Amino acid sequence: MLSWLTWPVDWLARKISEPRVRRLQAALGDERYIDTDRWAKLNGINKQQAEAELEAAAKVGLLARMYLYEGSDAPGDFLVPEELLNTPIKLVDAGFIDQDEDATISVSPLRSRPVYVDAEGQAETEATQLAYAT
Amino acid sequence: MEAAAEVFFVDFADLADVAVFLLAIGLTPLRLRGRPQIKPVTAICQSGFLPHNFLTSHSLCLIRSVRATRFSPYGFHNDALQCVRHAVVHWKPDSMALAENLNAFWISKLGADRLAQLPGGSTGRSSLDKALNVVRELKKDRETLYNLLFEGFDGYFHQSVFVRDLKKSMASTLANLEIGKTVKDVEWWAIQSPKAHHVRVLAGVRRQMQFLTAKDVGEWYVITIPVMIEAMPSLLRVRTLTVQSTPTTWSELLGKEITRILTPLVDTELHDQALGATGVPVGDLGEMVDYSRHAVELMKDTANVNTYAGTFAVRTVGQTRHATGGGGLGRKRQPMHVVMSTEFNELVGSDRVRQCEIDVQKDLDIGLLAGTALVIYPVEGKIVFRKMLSGGAVDAFLAYLAR
């Protein structure tokens, strides 16, 4: 009964969110990701509202949710797709080319935080490269 | 679904003792599907499941009440062997002596004055000897031993502290943990509630560590590390004790000459394991607190605090690190604000600090005492207390951060 309603709802949500996301993309320039704190600051809203908006944009496919790992055991921070959490990730695959070929890090959801990346440009991001490499 | 078994290992001086033991206990409780399952461990070892170097010649493996709740194409017997394998990996004949040594090692950090107030703490040459006497005296008084560990966490132990922001307090969850129970290789040791809505649980987190001995043999040991989980309204702290990772220290603890540590203990792994054992879903464990602002405030207090290195974010695209060179040969390392002022200003101008190394020069009213060395990982909500402290400083500083 509800299934035929799904696509118009999705289409409408996408139409409503798109201009806002375009403005966001322009505002962010070459930034790699956006998190709820920054989105809340940019729009003058609270953190819960920001999270809801970013999640809505992710749901309609404009943004994609990734996990930012900033652990001190890695030479730098990197983004991890949700499906690769808790699995060993090679540091060289995350772009740290000076690292040992076999050096890996397992990223737990407890030691990372969700951020959002542009879903359209996702094919070019390190996170997708990581997903392919792993 | 998993198979579960109660498995006991008994170490005998000789085979005559084995016979006496078997007569004393009888075979009744030691049955698996009607068949007695008392086997020398060496026999199980030959099945290819067990590493040989875990065994002594007169050890017996006793299996009791095996339940196979999972259908396995390899059959019930395989499940039982998997259980035995798991249990053997978690057992060493000298595990009791090792546990005593480790407890003594932690307790020795309380200092000679404190040890002297404890039973057995005034006899012995080194701090470790005195602490070992204390641990032996407290063999049947675990509560006092655990209280000493709590005391150590308050301000004496070198430790890593992880702080998480919670939407809903975990105090009642921690208060309901079953003391004495082991879950996912974490044993809940003791619980304290210093004030309302503030619960502290002391746990022993078991990790497998491999060491290279002087004979070039890699040996596995199960090491239990004290970890404290602390819940307050809207905050959760996990405090993991850090161990000096020098072969000399470990040789002393294991009673065997070690030339290399092949699997170091990692504080983040202890943190994850301890939180995983609480059974609380990841989504309810909150988020890492960002202490960037506090770290910057501390570093800016250049009259009282020296900063030697710092890593900070460059927008969201990367990071940069500044550090002063090491001193050596009797010369002290120079603080950044003295010899790298431009870079220091960049560091304290950042709103996302990934790491900074600081040294407190004078007692501060935020709880830190002169001589305390800290490495703060602000974006991870992690503080590592490096230098020996003099009681209460860790708790006082954490209380300041919580405010």
For the stretch B144-182, pLDDT in tens is 999 999 999 988 888 999 999 998 999 999 999 999 888
Nearest to A113 by CA among B360, B321, B283: B283
| Confidence tier at A7 by pLDDT (50, 70, 90) | low
Predicted local confidence at residue B89, as pLDDT: 44
Nearest to B25 by CA among B10, B5, B42: B10
Q: Does position A2 have pLDDT exceeding 60, yes or no?
A: no
Structure-block tokens of residue B275: 């939180």
pLDDT of residue B393: 73
Q: What percentage of residues in chain B have a pLDDT greater than 90?
A: 45
B320 at interface of A, judged by CB pairs closer than 8 A: no
Judge whether B205 is closer than 8 Å to chain A, CB to CB.
no
Which residues in A lie closer than 8 A to residue B316 (C-beta atoms)? Answer: 31-34
- How many helices and strands in chain B, by DSSP H and E? 14, 18
Query: Is A108 in contact with B318 (Cβ distance < 8 A)?
Result: no
pLDDT score for A42: 83
Question: Chain A: nearest CA to B244, how far in angstroms?
Answer: 18
pTM above 0.90, yes or no: no
Which of A35, A82, A110 is the best residue to mutate to test the B interface, defined by the most B CB atoms within 10 Å of its own CB? A110
> Mean pLDDT, to the nearest integer, of B98-123?
89
The predicted pLDDT at position A56 comes to 86
Higher pLDDT, B96 or A46: A46
| Cβ B224 vs Cβ B103: under 8 Å | no
Choice between A21 and B1, residue whose per-residue pLDDT is larger? A21
**pLDDT at position B319, please?**
93
Given this model, what pLDDT does residue B240 score? 96
Question: Is residue B378 scored above 70 in pLDDT?
Answer: yes
Of the candidates A33, A76, A108, which has its C-beta nearest B318's C-beta?
A76
d(CA B39, CA B61): 6
Q: What are phi and psi of B169, to 5 degrees?
A: -60, 145
B186 pLDDT above the threshold of 80: yes
For residue B377, the chain A residues in CB contact (below 8 A) are: 72
How far apart CA B15 and CA B21 sit, in angstroms, is: 10
Beta strands in B275-372 (DSSP E): 287-288, 305-314, 318-323, 353-360
Distance from CA of A1 to the nearest CA of B (A): 32
Sign, CA torsion A96/A100/A101/A104: negative
Question: What does the block give as tokens for A118?
Answer: 């542009």
Closest CA to A95 of A105, A83, A86: A105
- Computed from CA positions of residues A123, A127, A128, A133, in that sequence, does the dihedral angle turn out positive or negative? positive
Of B316, B355, B379, the CB nearest to A33: B316
Q: Which two tokens stand for residue B218?
A: 């890699």
Q: Closest partner residue to B380 among A30, A31, A70, by Cβ? A: A70
Judge whether A93 and A120 are in contact, CB under 8 Å: no
CB of B167 within 8 Å of a chain A CB? The answer is no
Q: Which residues of B touch A31 (CB under 8 A)?
A: 315-317
Contacts of B233 (CB under 8 A, 6+ apart): B169, B171, B197
Answer yes or no: are the C-beta atoms of B250 and B212 closer than 8 Å: no
CB B386 within 8 A of CB B371: no
Residue B275 touches chain A, beta carbons under 8 Å = yes
Strand partners, B382: B162, B377
Q: Is the pLDDT score of A14 beyond 50?
A: yes
Residue numbers in B near A32 (CB within 8 A) = 316-317
Q: For position B268, what pLDDT does the model report?
A: 93
B198 exposure class (CB count in 10 Å sphere: 0-12, 13-18, 19+): middle
B27, pLDDT greater than 70: no
pLDDT at A12: 60
For chain B, what is the mean pLDDT? 79
Residue of A31, A76, A108 lying closest to B316 (CB–CB): A31
Distance, CA of B321 to CA of B338 (rounded, Å): 17
Length of chain A: 134
Chain B, 230 to 269: residues with Cβ < 8 Å from chain A are 266, 268
Alpha carbon distances (Å) from B372 to B6, B368, B375, B399: 46, 7, 10, 16
pLDDT bracket for residue A9 (50, 70, 90): low
Confidence label for B369 from pLDDT (cuts 50, 70 and 90): confident
Choose among B309, B305, B316: nearest CA to B356: B309
For the complex shown, is ipTM > 0.95? no
Contact at CB, A113 and B288, closer than 8 angstroms: yes
Q: What is the pLDDT of residues A33-84, one digit of tens each?
A: 989 988 898 888 999 999 998 898 888 888 899 999 999 889 999 999 999 9
Give the minimum alpha-carbon distance from A16 to chain B in angstroms, rounded to a whole number: 27
Q: Report how far residue B228's alpha carbon sits from residue B202's, in angstroms, rounded to the nearest whole number.
A: 5
| A88, A133 contact by CB (below 8 A) | no
For residue B231, list its beta bridge partners.
B199, B236
In whole angstroms, what is the distance from residue B153 CA to residue B161 CA?
10
- pLDDT bucket at A132, cuts 50 / 70 / 90: low
Token pair listed for B72: 């396995």
- What is the structure's pLDDT at B144? 93
Domain range list for chain B: 3-89, 98-288, 292-380
- Contact flag B380-A30 (C-beta cutoff 8 Å): no
Q: Which residues of A touch B287 (CB under 8 A)?
A: 113
Does A72 sit within 8 Å of B380, measured CB to CB?
yes
C-beta contacts of A84-88 below 8 A and 24+ residues apart: A84/A130, A84/A131, A84/A134, A85/A109, A85/A112, A87/A134
Host H or E run for residue A117: strand A112-118
- The distance of A107 to chain B (nearest Cα, Å) reads 10
Distance of alpha carbon B377 from alpha carbon B291, whole angstroms: 8
Q: Is the pLDDT of residue B82 over 60?
A: no
CB contact under 8 A, A31 and B266: no
Judging contacts by C-beta atoms under 8 Å, the chain A residues touching residue B266 are: 73
B70 Cα to chain A: minimum distance (Å): 25
CA distance B197 to A94: 42
Q: For residue B342, name the pLDDT band (cuts at 50, 70, 90).
A: very high
Which range, of A26-35, A51-60, B135-144, B376-385, averages the lowest pLDDT?
A26-35
DSSP state at residue B281: -
B287 to A113: CB separation less than 8 angstroms, yes or no: yes
The contacts found for B362-368 with CB under 8 angstroms, 24 or more apart, are B362/B303, B362/B304, B364/B301, B364/B304, B364/B305, B366/B298, B366/B396, B366/B397, B366/B400, B367/B392, B367/B393, B367/B395, B367/B396, B367/B397, B367/B398, B367/B399, B367/B400, B368/B393, B368/B396, B368/B397
Q: Please, which pLDDT band fits residue B78 given cuts at 50, 70 and 90?
A: very low
Give A71-110 pLDDT, tens digit per residue: 988 999 999 999 999 999 999 999 998 888 889 999 999 9
Question: CA of A101, closest CA in chain B: separation in Å?
Answer: 19
User: Are B275 and A32 in contact (CB < 8 Å)?
Assistant: no
Q: Write b or e for each residue in B237-276: b if 16 or more Cβ atoms lie within 10 A of its Cβ, otherwise e.
A: bbbbbbbeeebeebbbbbeeebeebeeebebbbbbbbbbb
Tell me whether residues B317 and A32 touch, CB distance under 8 A: yes
Name the region of B239 (left: φ>0; alpha: ψ -120 to 50; beta: rest): beta
> Which chain B residues have a beta carbon less than 8 Å from that of A108?
272
Between chains, do A72 and B272 touch, taking CB under 8 Å as contact? Answer: no
Residues of A with CB under 8 A from a CB of B: 30-34, 70-73, 76-77, 108-111, 113
Q: How far is B120 from chain A (nearest CA, A)?
A: 41
Q: Has residue B83 got a pLDDT over 50?
A: no
Q: Which residue has the higher pLDDT, B276 or A24?
A: B276
Buried b (16+ CB within 10 A) or exposed e, B87-98: bbebbbeebeeb
Q: Which of B272, B355, B377 sits opposite A110 (nearest CB)?
A: B272
